[in-house]
Every structure is written in structure tokens, then in C-alpha cells.
Amino acid sequence: MVIAASMPYVPTELDSPFARLGGEAPIRAIVEAFYDAMSELEPALARLHPCDADGRVARASRDRFGLFFIGWLGGPQDYMARHGHPRLRKRHAHVPVDDAMAAAWMRCMRTALDRCQVTGDVRAFLETRLSEVALFLRNQEQE
């Protein structure tokens, strides 16, 4: 039998990124690290979101993205139940997203994944798929 060690990770219902990351609490920790990194490293991106007086992205935004992220990773679909289909392009239509913003968003996410020590197959999967979504959300003429 050939064990294809270099095959990319293909999520299934039983082997979801949600399960690989350890469920809800570690995913919420990634979301916290992501928005903390955004306020630290990419203040212009952070300011597109509702922020507290100290420049930190507000609790409501963290919780909304957290709920979405849990479902997107194959966990409970509470975001869908509460807010309906994510319709990400529509929900970002009022936000100017260009190459630079998409790259800034990914820098914050990579920093969060580093700080939460997410490695291996699931890390590669997340970086690939999230970059695709970030690029898909672009809505500005590129230079």
C-alpha cells in the first residue's frame, strides 16, 4: 500500500478542520489573536471594523467572525442559524478590499496562527483556503 504522506489535507465531515484544531475554544483563541494582531500590526485594517476607544477591534465583531469561522471550519452552524448565509462578497461590498488589504488581512491571520501554534496540514489548508477567500473579496480596480 502506498501511504501518500505528501498528499494535501482534504477535510471530510469526520476529519474537519474544526476537529483538527480542537473545537470551539482553540478557534475562539485564534480569532482573538487575529484581531489583536490586526490592531497591533495593521491599524488601517483594524479601523475598518468597529473599534473600542483603545483601537482594539470590538467584541461584537470578534464574536460574529468567531461564530462564522467555527461554522466555516466544519463546526456548529450557529452563524447561519442566527445571521443567514454569510454572502461574504455582499457583506464586504461597503469595505474597500484591494490586493494590499487582502494581503494585510492574511498577515494578521498568519500571525494569529503562529501565535496559536497551528502547524502542519491544517495550517497549510487554512492558509490556502483563506487566501482564496481574501482574494475573492477584492472589489477595487487593481493597480
Which of 19, 137 has the CB closer to ligand HEM? Answer: 137
Task: Closer to ligand HEM by CB, 6 or 124: give it.
Answer: 124
31 with 66: CB under 8 angstroms?
yes
Question: Which residue has the closest beta carbon to ligand HEM?
Answer: 61
CA distances from 3 to 11, 69, 78, 91 (A): 17, 31, 37, 42
Minimum Å gap between C-beta 37 and ligand HEM is: 14
Residue from 137, 114, 139, 138 nearest 126 by CA: 114
Please give the residue ranges that form the binding site for ligand HEM (CB under 6 A). 45, 48-49, 61, 64-65, 68, 83, 86, 88, 91-92, 95, 97, 101-102, 105, 130, 133-134, 137
Q: Which helix (H) or strand (E) holds 62?
A: helix 59-72
Which residue lies nearer to ligand HEM by CB, 1 or 85?
A: 85
